[in-house]
Structure 1
Amino acid sequence: MKKLLLFVIATGSLLTALAFVWLQDGRSDEAVQQAASSVNEPVASEPTRNRARILVAARPLQAGALLRTEDLRWADLPASDEGNLPGLFLQGFIQPEKLSGSLMTRTVQSGQILSAEDVIRPEQSHYLSAMMAPGTRAVTLALTPEAVSHGLLRPGNRVDVILTSLNENASKLVEGETVSGLSAEQVLSDIKLLAIEAQLIDLGQRGAAATAQSGFDLVNVTFELLPEEAATLLLANKLGDLSLVLRGRRPSLAYEESVAQKVVWAEQVSQNHNPKAIPTHGVRIAYGKSDDANKNQDKSSGSSN
């Protein structure tokens, strides 16, 4: 009886141990499966914040340069500049084309953020004065379409100013000889045109000429001049007709010296206006009949009698 009891106790202990081991193996397999599944599951990324996009320089830009659309590009606003949104050009609030023709007030590098303080837009009141060289003045005159080459001239061109005038006292200057008194002379050289009508700059996409140049209306032309040049231009405009002559990009110094302050008179251009070309002694030509003709006439008259 005692042996049977010991056998039952031993068998129960063995079954309990086997059950415990089986439970532990099941839990370990489940843990391994959970670990494997956790490795295969994609890690959920944190939601990205929507950053503002701003205009930056697409290439290095010098102070005084005129902006073009291709000089600008969009970029994400850095986190360090999120508190500096006022004054920046934000996407959705402005188009890069609207800044075309704006004047740069400082030098920036490629990728550098642009702000409203970095550019002067054409519609701003101080845009024209910002374009002018230090110490210069702006003078506007109303000229004929012929004087401005019928729309071929553009803002930014450099020209010479020719004055054509009539000197009523020219006869006293040439020893009393009667002359036409018409003359032409270059009164200003290498002058920059700031504006023609309302067109301040000439970018490729704005190449339309002023509307007034298509008819007979006068054209408003604005010049960039030194103070003494401004006085010369205003006085020359009172003396006669002004014409603008487009300059080449590489003028000859020898030519500049030869035409400086040279007056060309009408007598030098056309012989029709030169009194010296008119003969001073006339030749009288008499038309009469010869002696033979007279004798024949006398004979014919006698026979008739």
Structure 2
Amino acid sequence: MNPRSLILLAVALVGVVGVVFFTRSFLAGVQQNATQVQTVSAPAPTASILVAARDLPVGTILTNELVEWQPWPENGVNDAYFESGKKKLKDVEGKVVRAPITRGEPMTASAIVAQGERGFLAAVLTPGMRAVTVKLSPVASVGGFIFPGDRVDVILTHTIELSRTEKYTAAETVFQNVRVLAVDQRSAVQGEKIQVAKTATIEVTPKMAEKVAMLGKLGTLSLSLRSLTNDGTYAVASDPDSPPISLTTTHTLGHEVSRFLPAMNEDTATSTVRVSRGNNISTVETGRSLRGSSDAGGDGQ
């Protein structure tokens, strides 16, 4: 074989090897691109679970605005999570947070408690506060439009008996900005039907709890619903940290709402005191100012 033929044969062999190499490289690239396209077009399956929409401290009463649905890898869904299709928003509405939940953290059954379950009131109560229940009439409960989480003023309506023949009716605000913890046995709205409450559980200080026990003996208690906006005078009702106030700033006497009721002279109103000196017992009529006692502030507790 002459040298020219050898050179042509060598060139042909090199060409064949080059073609094979480039062909394999091209096919490998095509296969890799196809795999990537397939991976992008078929993402990992996800589920939708309920998470906290913001940081939720202990004692927070859950509402629809405080939670939200969020996509979650299906292989990372725990049985304790609230998964869409298996659970609904109403399953957590009205329940109370008993362990801190950070924003975006999945809601779990162990982190919340419902009314009637052990530890409910302990979870909803602010540290240092007390829960007391007051009896209400249909009118006293604002016709069923007071719900857990609302802020109210407590009004006492009672009869002032100065003597056997001198009696007057009065109403006075005894507590302001009190948080409602529960209404009857409900910690949230149940359905669309308005239910008139017979009792309300409110959050007060220890001293105010003692006063509530006395108020029930003096007369009838009513609740006055407060606005969620700040009126510039008292703490905003929607602020979870705004404390209740034990302070009587206003009162109304019977003659102010009905001209048929006698007016009481608040500056000269008297009371009778029995004085015992040995075996002698006498009664002494003393003067007192009801206006001064009614307008005076409380202990602030």
The normalised TM-score by structure 2 is 0.59
Contact 2:48–2:69, Cα closer than 8 Å, also in 1:
no
2:294 maps to what in 1?
Answer: none
Contact 2:135–2:221, Cα closer than 8 Å, also in 1:
no
What RMSD over aligned residues (CA atoms) do the two structures have, in Å? 4.2
Matching of residue 29 in structure 1 with residue 19 in structure 2: yes
CA deviation after TM superposition for structure 1 residue 120, in Å:
2.9
1:110 maps to what in 2?
Answer: 103
2:123 counterpart SS class: helix
How far apart are the structure 2 equivalents of 1:267 and 1:18? 127
Contact 1:193–1:224, Cα closer than 8 Å, also in 2:
yes
| Alpha-carbon distance change, 76 to 272 in structure 1, aligned in 2, over 3 angstroms | closer
CA deviation after TM superposition for structure 1 residue 198, in Å:
3.2
Q: Partner amino acid for 2:180?
A: L
Contact 1:54–1:74, Cα closer than 8 Å, also in 2:
yes
- The equivalent position to 1:221 in structure 2, one of 189, 195, 200, is 200
Q: Partner amino acid for 1:76?
A: W
- The equivalent position to 2:87 in structure 1, one of 91, 94, 104, is 94
| Alpha-carbon distance change, 250 to 206 in structure 1, aligned in 2, over 3 angstroms | farther
CA deviation after TM superposition for structure 1 residue 76, in Å:
3.1
CA deviation after TM superposition for structure 1 residue 189, in Å:
1.3
How far apart are the structure 2 equivalents of 1:247 and 1:26? 90
Q: Partner amino acid for 2:222?
A: S
1:40 maps to what in 2?
Answer: 30
* % identical aligned pairs: 21
- The equivalent position to 1:240 in structure 2, one of 207, 211, 219, is 219
2:68 maps to what in 1?
Answer: 72
Q: Deviations over 1:193-223 (max 9, x none)?
A: 3222233246xx967531xx3xxxx722223
Q: Partner amino acid for 2:69?
A: R
How far apart are the structure 2 equivalents of 1:143 and 1:85? 43
1:289 maps to what in 2?
Answer: none
How far apart are the structure 2 equivalents of 1:230 and 1:86? 42
CA deviation after TM superposition for structure 1 residue 28, in Å:
3.6
CA deviation after TM superposition for structure 1 residue 145, in Å:
1.0
Q: Partner amino acid for 1:44?
A: T
How far apart are the structure 1 equivalents of 2:231 and 2:115? 30
5+ unaligned residues in a row in structure 1: which ranges? 1-9, 173-177, 277-305
How far apart are the structure 2 equivalents of 1:164 and 1:141? 15
- The equivalent position to 1:145 in structure 2, one of 117, 138, 145, is 138
Q: Deviations over 1:153-196 (max 9, x none)?
A: 333222122122363xx335xxxxx43x1322437312333222
1:284 maps to what in 2?
Answer: none
Contact 1:165–1:182, Cα closer than 8 Å, also in 2:
yes
Matching of residue 165 in structure 1 with residue 165 in structure 2: no
Q: Deviations over 1:36-56 (max 9, x none)?
A: 333333352579765776543
How far apart are the structure 2 equivalents of 1:31 and 1:187? 94
Contact 2:156–2:222, Cα closer than 8 Å, also in 1:
yes
CA deviation after TM superposition for structure 1 residue 97, in Å:
4.2
Q: Partner amino acid for 1:188?
A: V
How far apart are the structure 2 equivalents of 1:55 and 1:244? 35
1:243 counterpart SS class: strand
Structure with the greater alpha carbon radius of gyration: 1
- The equivalent position to 2:184 in structure 1, one of 187, 191, 197, is 197
How far apart are the structure 2 equivalents of 1:16 and 1:268? 128
2:187 counterpart SS class: coil
Matching of residue 209 in structure 1 with residue 194 in structure 2: yes
The normalised TM-score by structure 1 is 0.59
- The equivalent position to 1:183 in structure 2, one of 169, 180, 198, is 169
1:233 counterpart SS class: helix
Contact 1:166–1:240, Cα closer than 8 Å, also in 2:
no
